Amino acid sequence: MRRLFLRQLRTRRRSRKISTTWSRNSSRSPKKNLRGCANRPYGTTIRVSPVQPISSACILNVNDGHRADLPPKIAIIGIGHEACGDDAVGRAVAERIRRSVSADVTVFDVRGNPATLLDVWKDVTCAIVVDAVRTDAESGTIYRIDLLTETLPPDVQPTSSHGFGVVSVVELGRILNRLPRQLILFGIAGERFEAGAPLSSSVAAAVHEVCRRIESEIAAIVR
């Protein structure tokens, strides 16, 4: 009886040892799935990080800086100083159009030196710049100028309160090869640029029309 009990005990121990060895070997030598790829060992935890959205600005083509199969990246840039009368019209346009454009359009408010534009528009497909201009035309007159193919009329000059004009920034960007594919300036003729003065009535009235034209530009680009 004692011998029979010891024989059964040894059999059970041997069975457990074989089962444990098979389990370890099966995890060390994983089977292959239908695609021929080895599966993960049993008991292995795979951590998957949350999916992060990829902006079109992060995927660039080495040839021209933009992928043709990606949606265009558009930037609207309002330039101006709120304490210098009509010079603030660019910021007024940026603030207003920010409420109506889609999430694909980025609106910037540049208050200081326009040289920062080189960083703002370096990865965009189209940049639309809004700024006050000094001209002999009636206050509130709107100019649309393609800064890559056209020159400003002789009587139209961007306001000088920024210290560095938009045209000068474009020329610098051309030298450094840091220009968007399309660059449009909406210039609004100002009347007064004194410190502390508000927007003149004619310039304030032009804000709505400029926003409407910018929306038309965007619609034509994304069409």
Q: pLDDT means per 10 residues in the chain (223 residues)?
A: 56 51 46 43 32 28 35 85 88 92 86 80 91 91 94 76 72 91 94 88 96 94 81
Does 21 reside within a domain? no
Q: Is 160 helix (H, G, I), strand (E, B) or coil?
A: helix
Identity of the amino acid at 190:
G
Does 203 reside within a domain? yes
Identity of the amino acid at 79:
I
- At 23 the pLDDT is 43
Cα 52 to Cα 26, 48, 75, 119, distances in angstroms:
36, 12, 22, 24
Does 158 reside within a domain? yes
Does 105 reside within a domain? yes
- At 63 the pLDDT is 27
The answer to whether 134 and 190 have CB atoms below 8 angstroms apart is: yes
Does 89 reside within a domain? yes
Show Cβ contacts of residue 28 under 8 Å, excluding neighbours closer than 6 positions: 41
Does 197 reside within a domain? yes
Beta-carbon count within 10 A of 151 CB = 10
- At 72 the pLDDT is 64
Pick the closest to residue 79 from 138, 126, 133, 119 (CA basis): 133
Pick the closest to residue 147 from 135, 129, 164 (CA basis): 129
DSSP 8-state symbol, 63:
T
Does 11 reside within a domain? no
In the chain, how many domains are there? 1
Element (H, E) at 158: strand 157-158
Predicted TM-score (pTM) of this structure:
0.65
Q: Is 48 helix (H, G, I), strand (E, B) or coil?
A: coil
Burial class (CB in 10 A: 0-12, 13-18, 19+), 120: middle
- At 3 the pLDDT is 58
- At 194 the pLDDT is 86
User: Six-digit token pair at 14?
Assistant: 């041997």
For residues 75 and 70, what is the distance between their CA atoms, to the nearest angstrom?
Answer: 15
For residues 223 and 202, what is the distance between their CA atoms, to the nearest angstrom?
Answer: 32
* Residue 161's CATH number: 3.40.50.1450
169 phi and psi, to 5 degrees?
A: -65, -40
Range of the domain at 88: 72-222
Does 52 reside within a domain? no
Pick the closest to residue 112 from 79, 155, 143, 135 (CA basis): 79
Query: Distance from CA of residue 150 to its chain's centroid?
Result: 26
